[in-house]
Amino acid sequence: MNIAEFSIRNKVTTWLLIVILVGGGFLGYEEMGKLEDPNFTIKQAKIVTLYPGASPTEVQQEVTYHVENAMQQLEQLKRLDKTISREGYSEVSVEFKDKYRAADMPNIYDEVRRKIQDMKHKLPPGAQTPVVLDDFADVYGIYLAMTGEGYTYRDMQEIAEALQRRLVLVPGVRKVQVGGVVAEEVIVEASRAKMAELGIDMALIQKVLESQNVVADAGRIRVGDDYIRISPTGEFQSVESIGEVIITDEKNRFVRLNDIATVRRLYEEVPSSLMYQDGQKALTLAISTMPGQNVIAVGEAIEAKLDTLENLIPLGIEIHSIYNQPVEVDKSVSGFINNVVEALVIVFAVLLVFMGARVGVIIGSVLLINVAGTLWIMQMFGIELQRVSLGALIIALGMLVDNAIVVAEGMMVRIRRGENAIEAGKAVVGQNNLALFGGTVIGILAFSGIGLSQDSTGEFVGSLFYVLLISLSLSWLLAITVTPMFCAMLLRADKNFDPDANPYGGKGFMIFRGMVSRAIQFRWVTIPLVLALFVSAIFGFGYVKQAFFPNANTPMFFVDVWEVEGTDIRTTRDDALKVDAFIRELEGVEQTTLTVGQGAARFSLVYSPESQTSAYAQIIVRVQDRSQIPGAINQIRDFLADELPHTEPKIKTLRIGPGKDAKIEARFMGPDPAVLKRLADEAKTIMYADPLAIEVRDDWRQPVRLIRPIFNENVARQLGISRDDVAAALEMATQGAQFGVYRDGNHLLPIKVRSADDERGDVANLQDIQVWSQVLKNFIPIGQVVQGFETVYEDAIIMSRNRSLAVTANANPATELAAPVFNELRPKIEAIDLPVGYRLEWGGEYQDSNEAQESLFSALPAGFLMMVIVTILLFGKLRQPLIIWLTVPLSIIGITYGLLIARGAFDFMALLGALALIGLMIKNSIVLVEEIDHEIAGGKQALTAILDSAVSRMRPVMMAASTTILGLIPLLKDVFFQNMSITMMAGLGVATVLTLVVAPTFYAVLFKVKFDKSA
């Protein structure tokens, strides 16, 4: 008793399987996580170290060098991806090997911290403890902005923090962060004239302020039966009380701080970052969800919670949505569900038309059971519903009916002849079971490169493989169990059936038989003709556009405004607000979000926030429809060129999948910064000369001016003044020096001492700044201990990669595709003469695409070897597998002409589609060749067996191809799957027709079958 006979005889067991799969599918759909795009692990860490007062070169040599050394010892290290050394700031970006996944990262981060801890003693005095940032990859899918006309930053901060405390308690919420806060500080503006008059040293003020407001344990004492804590008064109760602090001068006179200084509570004069929503100052609430959650349900819970918190939000405070992942996911999933339904309807309609109502209902029902079972197993293994997994379901729909079509078509023919249903099922499944299983395994193995690929791109699209693995495995199981039972229940014998009639004697079948017969008869014309088509396709493929990943459907884009390096953040803010105001006037613009000084929170996994820098601003623009983006971008570019020509703008859309902001990167590496910058300038000159290259720049940016007081050590030593004294005096007289903190509830406000407004801010007054002389016990002008002030230039940024200094010249294409521009620039830039010890590396889209393909292709040999082994094991011979594999290259014919006609691009997803075609073609060829062998084994002459098999397998093969091709139609509307759909539809359509004709011809050639007209 084979499995088909068992399934028909034991209907209760078969129905139980159906109920489990369908019921599990409904429950799984409700419970499974739902995302817009699939998660992938950002295998990186950042180590940030502050070294106040140090130049970029000092930071690079004294801090960055030691951090890089420590990271180099990690066995998990892939490369030191990017190292930034700025004034007083070191940032080392570490990238880990592709094989690690999210579960491995906590242990890796612990190892990073241990290495940093072991290295700390090597850092210079003044360098702060390195901080390991392991959460910068967290995604805050719900990103809100808070505005309030007439409200201060402190007012909005208190409201935001009140909301934060409550929203973090919503089930499914992981973290809530408040952003855009402008910090408060206590400013003590001291008069240098009064301090000099009274002979008060700044050190006295510092000592008092640092000690006065410190929490100190005064002990406990027993009083009777009680043990009572002692807590002395004297700490600051208010900002005003700071001015009442008593300071003792050199003559032991008591002076209140208010007598020599003004104490005020202000917002920081030079903020590190600023946020604006539609031109109004704003704070942000960034909310991240727990992994594996249904973000739609979490979003609804957050909305409900916000509704209950309306009493916490005063009149005039408004909450805006910058990005709402639950809404985007709901749109995306709903759209894809519609696509799945459309694909199901198309497949079902094709089955009804070509297979008849009963067989159509049978196969359509099996298809629905398969989809439900797939959803259930996906939920059990934690595979979320997202762009890639839903796309995989649509791709699978046409493939899932292949096995069921073969079984149903075979049983239909036998049952119509009057054969018993059990015997028909037993015979059909017994004859085809092994071939169907082998074809299914090969279909799965064709996608194995995706599942085994370890890099971020492979992880991003990895669910494609696992969904197809589940669904195709189920399709084989259901084809040999449920399909025979349904056929036994619904198919009936044809009372008018003529046992002597040829079931394949219809006109269509006979025309096709004649085509195959002529192809075999004129085999030495057929094969050269096919080879000519193949060669033309290879040649034509060179004219197919190349790409990596397309842009997203989200109607959103970004305007990065880069000022000249060293620009004050307030100037950056003013210029960015001008751009923001212009953008809001454009047609179709719904809202703008402006962040100054750094990037926004990572609201999408593919969004990379820019590190903190005063010369940077970003405007996040949302429009009504994605089609409005190109026109808006052109107008913004014109405005920036006319009104802010000194800026370096970069305008980009939200992309899908991993990638970089600069699509074309020429990275020069070597020991000498001057040589590297010269090489980068040559590359930029080449880029500027290309009209299709825009946004040309390099990552070291412009040198910045530096004021350098020339310290007169001889005079200074005589006066008891050190270099530190001079630096401290300059700091206090300009931006102010921090002397202690003021504790205000859960906030710590720095207490900064600085000169009065009328004594600072003018660079011409630097030489008059007063510095305390320990010898004279009085203040003297700083001009007496410095020989003068000189203005010089220094590199503001020193970049390195993998322990080597690196300057990257980068650009973007004026059109959507980078490959044509890159191919034009590459030979010219590679022709630059590189000195000994210097090298050129290509980054950007070229690097990302190459690494993704290398990872994919490194996993392919094992999968292809298994496919070859399976085909050999199926037949136990060599010539039959050779025939099958000879048909595989024919897919390139359809791929090339399909992409050229549709003006599509061969991107990463199209590559995956091409690999999938291999499995589909091998499945079709196996079914055909196996039938030829079966017919020959049954005693037919070879040529007759070839022709009969080609005709009998034409309908299932054409049906399988048609359902796959037509089922992909809904994906043509999605930019992510568009090129993949074109590749599979055109490739499979042409290849299927050619395979049905060419495979029999190859069989006749390899087995030396002579042509006989009587066949």
Token pair recorded at residue 200: 């008060």
10 Å Cβ neighbour count for 584?
15
410 has which bridge partners? none
Report the C-alpha gap between 749 and 743 in whole angstroms. 6
pLDDT band at 101 (very low <50, low <70, confident <90, very high): confident
Q: 528: buried, middle or exposed (CB in 10 Å: 19+, 13-18, 0-12)?
A: exposed
* Last residue in a domain, options 755, 778, 795: 795
Distance, in Å, from the CA atom of 873 to the CA atom of 647, rounded to the nearest integer, reads 66
Phi, psi for residue 919 in degrees, rounded to 5: -65, -40
* Beta strands in 905-999, from DSSP E residues, in sequence order: 905-906
pLDDT at 965: 85
Q: Are residues 488 and 513 in the same domain?
A: no
Q: Do the Cβ atoms of 439 and 927 come closer than 8 Å?
A: yes
The reply to whether 566 falls in a domain is no
- Percent pLDDT > 70 in the chain is 97
Split at pLDDT 50, 70, 90, the class of 839 is very high
CATH classification of the domain holding 67: 3.30.70.1430
Model confidence at 735, in pLDDT bands (50, 70, 90)?
Answer: confident
Across 950-966, average pLDDT: 81
Q: Classify residue 748: in a domain, yes or no.
A: yes
What is the reported pLDDT for 717? 86
Choice between 484 and 213, residue whose per-residue pLDDT is larger: 484
CB 299 within 8 A of CB 171: no
| Side-chain half-sphere CA neighbours of 440 within 13 A | 25
Give the number of residues written for the chain. 1015
pLDDT at 558 over 90: yes
pLDDT beyond 60 at 288: yes
Number of domains in the chain: 4
Pair (873, 1002) in one structural domain? yes
Mean local confidence (pLDDT), 1010-1015? 71
Q: What is the DSSP letter of 648?
A: E
Cα within 13 Å of Cα(648), Cβ side = 17
Whether residue 709 is found in the same domain as residue 790:
yes
Q: Give domain status of residue 459, yes or no.
A: yes
pLDDT tens string 426-474: 888 888 888 888 888 888 888 887 777 777 777 778 888 899 899 999 9
Tell me the average pLDDT across 104-117.
Answer: 91
Q: Which residue has the higher pLDDT, 176 or 862?
A: 176
Closest C-alpha to 65, from 803, 674, 673, 670? 803
pLDDT band at 1014 (very low <50, low <70, confident <90, very high): low
Q: Are residues 859 and 998 in the same domain?
A: yes
What is the Cα–Cα distance from 549 to 685, expressed in whole angstroms? 28
Average pLDDT for 610-638: 92
Given pLDDT bands bounded at 50, 70 and 90, which one contains residue 956?
Answer: confident
Q: What share of the chain is helix, strand, coil (3-state, %, to 5)?
A: 55, 20, 25
517 located within any domain? yes
Domain C-terminal end among 136, 152, 174 = 136
Residues 423 and 469 in one domain: yes
Could you tell me if 860 and 1000 lie in one domain? yes
Contact assessment for residue 466 and residue 374, using Cβ atoms and an 8 Å cutoff: no
Q: Tell me the residue ranges of DSSP E strands in 24-87.
A: 44-50, 77-86
Indicate which CATH number applies to the domain containing 253: 3.30.2090.10
With a cut of 80, say whether residue 853 has pLDDT above it. Answer: no
Q: Domain check: are 366 and 514 in the same one?
A: no
Band (952; pLDDT cuts 50, 70, 90): confident
CA-nearest of 592, 507, 711, 625 to 277 is 592
- Same domain? For 748 and 868 the reply is no
pLDDT tens track for 200-244: 777 778 777 777 777 777 888 888 888 888 887 767 778 888 888
User: Looking at the structure, do residues 3 and 58 belong to the same domain, yes or no?
Assistant: no
**173 with 167: CB under 8 angstroms?**
yes
Task: Give the helix/strand (H/E) hosting 318.
Answer: strand 317-324
User: What is the enclosing helix (H) or strand (E) of 434?
Assistant: helix 421-445
> What integer is the mean pLDDT of 694-700?
91
Rounded Cα–Cα distance for residues 66 and 121 (Å) = 10
So what's the pLDDT on residue 657? 65
Residue 494: CA atoms inside 13 Å, Cβ hemisphere, count? 13
If asked whether residues 459 and 514 sit together in one domain, one would say no
Query: Which span out of 90-99, 274-283, 344-353 was modeled with the highest average pLDDT?
Result: 274-283
The answer on pLDDT for 180 being more than 60 is yes
Q: Which of 545, 678, 674 minimizes the C-alpha distance to 982? A: 545
Query: What pLDDT score was predicted for residue 618?
Result: 96
Mean pLDDT of the chain: 86
Q: What is the pLDDT of residue 800?
A: 92
Structural tokens at position 973? 């509307």
- Choose one of 447, 463, 492: the last residue of a domain: 492
Residue 672's pLDDT band (cuts 50, 70, 90)? very high
Range name among 655-669, 683-697, 700-714 with the lowest pLDDT average:
655-669
pLDDT value at residue 339: 74
For residues 579 and 1002, what is the distance between their CA atoms, to the nearest angstrom? 66
Could you tell me if 66 and 123 are in contact, meaning their C-beta atoms sit under 8 angstroms apart?
yes
Euclidean distance between CA atoms 201 and 772, whole angstroms? 6
The answer to whether residue 470 sits within a structural domain is yes
Within a domain: 309 = no
Residues 731-736, mean pLDDT to the nearest whole number: 83
Give dist(CA 114, CA 580) in Å, integer.
Answer: 45
Q: Domain check: are 123 and 93 in the same one?
A: yes
The mean-pLDDT minimum among 376-380, 601-605, 616-620 falls in 601-605
Mean pLDDT throughout 647-651? 92
Sign of the Cα pseudo-torsion (898, 902, 903, 907, in order): negative
Q: Looking at residue 593, what is its pLDDT?
A: 96
Q: Let me know whether 521 and 379 are in one domain.
A: no
Does a structural domain hold residue 810?
no
User: Kind and range of the H or E element at 160?
Assistant: helix 153-167
| Least-confidence region, from 71-85, 355-369, 523-537, 761-775 | 761-775
CATH number at residue 424: 1.20.1640.10
Of the given ranges (50-59, 515-524, 854-863), which has the lowest mean pLDDT? 854-863
180 with 273: CB under 8 angstroms?
A: yes
User: CB under 8 Å to 631, separation ≥6 — which residues?
Assistant: none
Q: pLDDT grade, residue 658 (50/70/90)?
A: low
On the question of pLDDT at 114 being above 70, the answer is yes
208 found inside a domain: yes
Q: Which DSSP category does 834 fall into?
A: P
239 neighbors 166 (Cβ within 8 angstroms):
no
Domain span at residue 775? Answer: 201-259+704-795
Q: What distance in Å separates the CA atoms of residue 925 and residue 670, rounded to the nearest whole number?
A: 54
Q: How many CB atoms lie within 10 A of CB 75?
A: 8
At 15-43, the pLDDT tens digits run 999 999 999 998 988 888 877 777 777 88
Alpha carbons 49 and 61: distance in angstroms, whole number? 13
Averaged pLDDT, 790-812: 91
| pLDDT, tens only, 487-508 | 888 888 766 656 666 666 677 7
Angstrom distance (rounded) from CA 21 to CA 28:
10
Each residue of 396-420: pLDDT tens digit? Answer: 776 777 788 888 888 887 888 778 8
Nearest to 192 by CA among 721, 726, 755: 755
pLDDT reading at 351 higher than 80: no
